Amino acid sequence: MDNVDLQVLRQVVAWRAAGAGVVLGTITRTWGSAPRPVGSVVAVRDDGQIAGSVSGGCIEDDLIARMREQALAADVPKVVRYGVSGDEAARFGLPCGGTLELVLEPIQANSQIELLLERLSQGQRVRRELTLATGAVTLAEATGADAVLLNETTLISTHGPDWRLVVVGAGQMTLYLAQMAQALDYQVIIIDPREEYAVELPGVVHRRDMPDDAVLALKPDAHTAIIALTHDPKLDDLALMEALRTPAFYVGAIGSRLNQSKRKQRLAEHFGLSETELARLYGPVGIKNGARTPPEIAVSILAELTAVRYGWRIPEPVFEGGGPALSAPGCVA
């Protein structure tokens, strides 16, 4: 759930505190392209006031009209679809033939929206399970990648703090990576104790402590990615040995396949990391797309982070002879 949708939840709580009725809509499925991703939310107050969005505006207009006519979900959640036919898709601003599915949920005391926001404010990641037959909600700790799952009886959604990207090394590539990551809603933290390297980017935190101490202090969670980019084992290995023991959803390091093999050997021999922990290490970091320049490599890294976040596996590229590509972005094997 991104910052926009968290603002919607805060508005829901404020409306409820003022005594208003509210229906919350959550995107659970799309076919074709869609203005907002699965998991996005919209809230409609009983007088038609709206917060958030799920389309370019036409679906919101329909939800407002239904709310004023008291035709939205009044007692228990229900599933609705927009754009089943080409004509309806065009009417609601969707690609011809496209479809958008929503769960419309009347917010009640057992919706636990206030408790959800309280846990989110404490930096927790939360799994929310909505029972469609009753509207009852249970909250639990979320682990793994974000998920929005709908079946015949239940809607499960994942909520949590902003994504964090922790980068070890303040070189040129880090500057490109940091700027692009901010556009993807990451909080960026750069760790580099070397006096010769400095980062001056708005909104980016630069820590000067040693990488192992910094990683421990940051307490990485399942919304954190940690990437080592210095090419210096004295710095990268210190960060990786701690990062691989955390719930971070992604831990990676730049370098060739040969360097990656040597790195894993060092981490096992000198720091005692297990085979299971070492198997979590992504490297060479980034998708293999032929990237060579710092901004191209930054794109490849963020593409891989995005795939991991959403549970997608990007297959290795192959040469015409059928063998895997041997080089990493910007590196030689």
Q: Are 144 and 176 in the same domain?
A: no
**Residue 241 maps to which CATH number?**
3.40.50.720
Same domain for 155 and 206? no
Q: Specify whether 155 is located in the same domain as 9.
A: yes
What is the reported pLDDT for 321? Answer: 56
**Shared domain check, 168 and 155:** no
262 and 281 together in one domain: yes
Q: How far apart are CA 178 and CA 117, in angstroms?
A: 28
Query: Looking at the structure, do residues 88 and 147 belong to the same domain, yes or no?
Result: yes
Residue 138 resides in a domain: yes
Domain end (from 97, 127, 159): 159
d(CA 111, CA 87): 35
Write out the residue range of the structural domain in which residue 231 sits: 163-309
Same-domain status, 13 and 150: yes
Determine the pLDDT at residue 149.
93
Task: Quote the number of domains for the chain.
Answer: 2
Torsion on CA atoms 115, 121, 125, 126, rounded to nearest 10:
10
β-pairing, 126-131 with 154-159? antiparallel
128 and 191 co-located in one domain: no
CA dist 78 and 66 (Å) reads 14
Residue of 217, 227, 228, 171 lying closest to 194 (CA atoms): 171
- Residue 200 shares a structural domain with residue 150: no
What's this model's pTM, rounded to 2 decimal places? 0.60
What angle do helix axes 233-243 and 257-271 make, rounded to 10 degrees? 70
Q: What secondary structure letter does DSSP report for 318?
A: B
- pLDDT given at position 118: 87
Pairing of β 224-228 and β 250-253: parallel
In whole angstroms, how far apart are CA 193 and each of 181, 196, 213? Answer: 22, 9, 11
**CA 104 – CA 24 distance, rounded (Å):** 6
Do 296 and 186 share a structural domain? yes
Dihedral, 191, 195, 201, 203 alpha carbons, nearest 10: 50
User: Do both 198 and 301 map to the same domain?
Assistant: yes
One pLDDT digit (tens) per residue for the chain, 333 residues: 455 677 899 999 999 999 999 999 999 988 766 667 888 899 999 999 999 988 767 788 889 988 988 877 778 999 998 875 555 555 555 554 567 899 999 999 999 999 998 887 776 788 999 999 999 999 998 876 678 999 999 999 988 766 899 999 999 999 999 999 988 878 899 999 998 888 788 889 999 999 999 999 999 988 899 999 998 999 999 999 999 999 999 999 998 889 999 999 999 999 999 999 999 999 889 998 888 899 999 999 999 999 998 888 877 776 555 555 444 455 533
H-helix or E-strand containing 261? helix 257-271
Same domain flag for 169 and 43: no
Spatial contact of 283 and 333, defined as CB atoms under 8 Å apart: no
